[in-house]
Structure 1
Amino acid sequence: MKIQWLGHACFLLTTESNTRIITDPFDETIGYPLPRIPADIVTVSHQHFDHNAVGTVPGNPRVVQDAGEHILGNIKITGYHSYHDKKQGAQRGKNIIFVVETEGLRVCHVGDLGHLPDQGLMEALGRIDVLMIPVGGYFTIDAGEAAELVRQLSPIYVLPMHYKTPYINLPIAPVTDFLKMFPAFDEKELLVVNRYNLPRQTTVVKLSLHVK
């Protein structure tokens, strides 16, 4: 599987069979260049403009935006209820964590998670090979909470997202606050994940922005 970061909480996952999955697409007001990359599947963690702009994705993708199990060919996507804040959604509403299973890999995109999951949810998520996690705080968990979640889930790869960059004008922190807690982090333009060649320890990867 190939994984590219398109900005904010939006990633492009390309499977070995060339199925394209886009997570949480944003609209033009967020500030990042619109990718305009066709996709087969789009996941939407919650209905905010910077995560649900399905109309910006070319083609006729299947949209997955509900909790529960979704089978799309050889891809299984499971959504888990969570919240956008620490008050069970009273401030910013609900959020869905998605786990994508294909090619023997389990990829977890937590959306705009605003709290640390309880033990039941942690157990439900299970083994995670790639974790896409917000680190900017204010609207989501912050760098320290994200680091704690990484410790609890022990994923193989960690991809930070939803942080301050020159493209956006949101009151969130830069990725450096998170990366300083993982000084051995790597930087890549593209992450290629193979179930047969996973590292033994958790590896944080800062992906550079992919602009097409």
Structure 2
Amino acid sequence: MEIVYYGHSCFQIKNKKINIVMDPYDHPDLKLKLPDLKADVVTVSHAHRDHNAVHKIQDNPRVLDWPGEYEVNEVSFTGISSFHDNENGATRGENVIFIIKTNGTTVCHLGDLGCKLTEAQIDQLGQIDVLLIPMGGKVSLDAKLAKEVVEQIEPRVVIPMHYKLPDTISELAPVDDFLKVMNLASQNLDSLNLEKISVPEDKTEIVVLKPQIS
């Protein structure tokens, strides 16, 4: 199974059984063009245009945008309720964290999480292999708070998202802010093959994925 990054908070996770797109965007302020993508399933963390552009995805995918447990093509999905801010949703509303389990690997997309996790949420997450985490600040976790959340979850691989990309107009912080705060081993890849993860369970490594956009 392969993870591909398309900028902002949008990822594609795919194998022979299923094609998943997470948090597709369609917002002029991003100055990013989402490629033509097809999917069996689209997950949406919250109803903002830079995260819920389901209309951009082809093949009439099933949309998961609410907490709960789902199964599609022998892949399990769990949506966990959380908040887009640190005020119990009073400023920016709710956010859904999605967990995807397939072939013995667990991937967690935190959406636009804006606060640390509760003990109950940590218990719901369980053991996470690959964590997709926002770190650009302003409307969600900044680098310092993202580090604290990583320490709560203790994943094997951390992939940062929701940060300023070159040649884009954005008030988000660049990914380097997160790398400096984390001070962990990191590598840059075009995509991540989940079957080839070699990080020990008691270690954490950062992978920065190159956005596959024109």
Contact 2:190 2:209 in 1 (8 A): yes
Runs of 4+ aligned structure 1 residues displaced above 3 Å come to: none
- Aligned residue type for 1:193: L
3-state SS of 2:92 partner? coil
3-state SS of 2:58 partner? coil
CA distance in 1 between counterparts of 2:47 and 2:90 reads: 15
- Aligned residue type for 1:75: V
Contact 2:26 2:49 in 1 (8 A): yes
TM-score by length of 1: 0.95
3-state SS of 1:63 partner? strand
CA distance in 1 between counterparts of 2:125 and 2:169 reads: 32
What 5-or-longer segments of structure 1 have no aligned partner? none
Which residue does the alignment assign to 1:37?
Answer: 37
Computed over aligned residues only, the root mean square deviation of the Cα atoms, in angstroms, reads 1.4
Contact 2:184 2:206 in 1 (8 A): no
Which residue does the alignment assign to 1:193?
Answer: 194
Contact 1:100 1:108 in 2 (8 A): yes
Residues 54-111 of structure 1, C-alpha deviations (whole Å, 9 max, x = no match): 0011111111101010111201100000000000100000000000011111100000
- Aligned residue type for 1:192: N
Which residue does the alignment assign to 2:213?
Answer: 211
Residues 19-47 of structure 1, C-alpha deviations (whole Å, 9 max, x = no match): 11000000051211211111111000000
3-state SS of 1:173 partner? coil
- Aligned residue type for 2:138: Y
Contact 1:95 1:112 in 2 (8 A): yes
Number of equivalences:
210
Which residue does the alignment assign to 1:11?
Answer: 11
Determine if the alignment matches structure 1 residue 84 to structure 2 residue 84.
yes
Q: CA deviation at 1:167?
A: 4.4
Which residue does the alignment assign to 1:24?
Answer: 23
- TM alignment of 1:94-173, pairs within 5 A: 94-173=94-173
- TM alignment of 1:63-78, pairs within 5 A: 63-78=63-78
- Aligned residue type for 1:85: D
Q: CA deviation at 1:198?
A: 3.4
Contact 2:117 2:152 in 1 (8 A): no
Identity %: 42
CA distance in 2 between counterparts of 1:120 and 1:63 reads: 25
Relative distance call for 1:35 and 1:167 in structure 2 (3 A) is farther
CA distance in 2 between counterparts of 1:8 and 1:96 reads: 16
- Aligned residue type for 1:187: N
3-state SS of 1:88 partner? coil
Q: CA deviation at 1:18?
A: 4.4
Contact 2:68 2:78 in 1 (8 A): yes
- Aligned residue type for 1:48: H
